[in-house]
Structure 1
Amino acid sequence: MKSLIFISLLLASSSALASHNRFWIGYKKESLATDKFLNGLNVFFKETVTLGAGKGLVSYQPYITQMKGDTPDEIALVTYENEEKYKAIRGTPEGKQYGERHWDFFEKEKSKSTVPTLFAGTLSNNGAYELSSDFSEWQGNVTYVVLYKNQTSDLATLAQEFESLKKSKDLNNSIILITDKFVYEYRSMKKKSKITPLALPVVEMKRLPGFEIGNFPVTGFGEGINFRFSK
Structure 2
Amino acid sequence: MSIEAGKPAGLRERKKLETRIALGWAAIRLTVERGFDAVRVEDIAAEAGVSPRTFNNYFSSKAEAVAARHLDRARMIAEELRARPASEPLWEAVANAVMARFGLTQETRGAGTSDQQWITGLRLMMTEPALQGEFMKAGALAEFELAAAVAERTGTDVERDLYPRLVAGAVWAAITVVTDHWLHADPPVAIVPLLRDALHQLAAGLPVP
TM-score, normalised relative to structure 1: 0.27
Tell me: higher relative CO, structure 1 or 2? Use CA pairs within 8 A at least 6 residues apart.
Answer: 1
Q: Which has the higher helix share?
A: 2
The structure where strand makes up a greater share of residues is 1
Under a length normalisation based on structure 2, what TM-score does the superposition of the two structures give? 0.30
